[in-house]
Amino acid sequence: MVDSSLLEQLTTDATRDDVQQLVVGAVLQSGDKILLLQRPADDFMGGIWELPSGKVEPGEALDQALIREVKEETGLDVTHIARYLGEFDYQSGSGKKSRQFNFAVDVAAAEPVELQEHDAYAWTNLTEEPPVTDAVKQVLARYRES
C-alpha cells in the first residue's frame, strides 16, 4: 500500500494551496489494457472518457476514498494501491478548485464492470492514444514509465 505519510502530505499540501475539493483517481490495468469510463452526456464535461475517480468525503483518507470510489463506479474491489502517479488541478462544475490525486491500483478481478454513474466503459490498450484530457494523458504517461 501507499505510505500513509505521503497521503497526509498530499492532503496538507492541498489545504495550503487552497484546494476546495479533493478527488482520487485510479489506473486499473488488466493485461495490457487500462479501464476508462465515459461520463454521461448531460453531466459536467459530458461524454469525455476518464479514469475511475470521485470526491473524497470530509474526514475520509485518500486511500479509503480511492477504494470506495472504484467500488462505487465499477463494482470492482481494490486489493492493493501500488503507487502514486501524481495529481492535477481543475475547476469543478460547481466552480471549486479541485485536485485529483491519481494512483495505480490492483483489483481482485477485472470483470464484471458494473457501471453506476457512467454511460460506458472500455478496456483501452496502453499503447494507443486514449480519448482523455491532457491531464489524464500525463498521468497515463507516468504510469507507462514506471
Residue ranges covered by each domain of the chain: 4-145
Q: What is the pLDDT of residue 98?
A: 97
Buried b / exposed e across 125-134, counting CB within 10 Å, b at 16+? eeeeebebee
Give the cell for residue 15: 489545504
d(CA 92, CA 119): 20
Q: What is the pLDDT of residue 1?
A: 73
Q: Cis peptide before 52, with omega less than 30 degrees from 0?
A: no
Residues 77 and 48 sit within 8 Å (Cβ to Cβ)? no
Question: Of 46, 24, 44, 38, which is closest to residue 92 (Cα–Cα)?
Answer: 44
Q: What is the pLDDT of residue 44?
A: 76
Q: What is the pLDDT of residue 117?
A: 87
What pTM does this model have? 0.94
4-145, what's its fold?
A: Nucleoside Triphosphate Pyrophosphohydrolase (3.90.79)
Q: What is the pLDDT of residue 41?
A: 82
How far, CA to CA in Å, does 118 sit from each of 3, 46, 66? 31, 10, 17
Q: Which residue's C-alpha cell is 458494473?
A: 114
* Positions in the chain short of pLDDT 50: none
